[in-house]
């Protein structure tokens, strides 16, 4: 076990603090349109991205000083994942998404998450489902 290095915070929290000022959070849930209890969901888990990135670059982010020294570089290199690959969801739909995909969804599920969000939106608006989305919808309903 790593000994306590005096780090006070989980490294990803430093990234979120800095990045969230620029988040493009909408004022309605993407699925149901409510304006209540809105949260921002990243299709790519920032925790996993940060850990993999730091490991690949051999950066030590286990201390506050360590993560603060490379935080801007991480944000600059992950603009798409931090700011584009996101959806504003109400708490209810955000919780529902994580119930399907897990607390920290694996990176390879980003496309499936985006599709799932689209399917939920269609269900909510009662849009005519095409043959194609109906097939995808029944695939996902097997897991809910
Ligand atoms: Zn919602
Ligand atoms: Zn989320």
> What pLDDT, in 10s, does the model give residues 10-45?
999 999 999 988 888 999 999 999 999 999 999 999
Every domain of the chain and the residues it spans: 11-141
CA of 29 to the centre of ligand 1 (A): 5
Residues in the 5 Å CB sphere of ion ligand 2:
41
CA of 25 to the centre of ligand 2 (A): 13
> What pLDDT, in 10s, does the model give residues 112-136?
999 999 999 999 988 755 545 444 4
* Ligand with an atom nearest the CA of residue 103: 2
CA of 3 to the centre of ligand 2 (A): 30
CA of 120 to the centre of ligand 2 (A): 15
CA of 56 to the centre of ligand 1 (A): 37
Average pLDDT over residues 73-86: 96
* Ligand with an atom nearest the CA of residue 90: 1
- HEC string of the chain equals CCCCCCCCCCHHHHHHHHHHHHCCCCCCCCCCCCCCCEEEEECCCHHHHHHHHHHHHCCCCCCHHHHHHHHHHHHHHCHHHHHHCEEEEEHHHHHHHHHHHCCCCCHHHHHHHHHHHHHHHHHHHCCCCCHHHHHHHHHHHCCC
Query: Which of 48-62, 102-116, 129-143 has the weakest average pLDDT?
Result: 129-143
pTM of the model: 0.78
């Amino acid at each position: 076990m790593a000994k306590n290095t005096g780090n006070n915070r989980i490294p990803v929290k430093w990234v979120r603090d800095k990045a969230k000022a620029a988040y493009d959070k909408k004022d309605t849930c993407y699925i149901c349109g409510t304006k209540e209890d809105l949260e921002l969901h990243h299709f790519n888990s920032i925790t996993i991205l940060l850990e993999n990135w730091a490991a690949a670059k051999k950066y030590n982010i286990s201390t506050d000083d360590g993560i603060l020294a490379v935080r801007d570089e991480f944000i600059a290199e992950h603009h798409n994942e931090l700011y584009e690959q996101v959806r504003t969801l109400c708490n209810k739909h955000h919780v529902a998404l994580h119930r399907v995909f897990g607390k920290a969804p694996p990176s390879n599920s980003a496309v499936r998450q985006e599709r799932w969000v689209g399917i939920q939106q269609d269900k909510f608006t009662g849009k005519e489902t095409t043959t194609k989305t109906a097939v995808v919808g029944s695939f996902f309903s097997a897991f809910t």
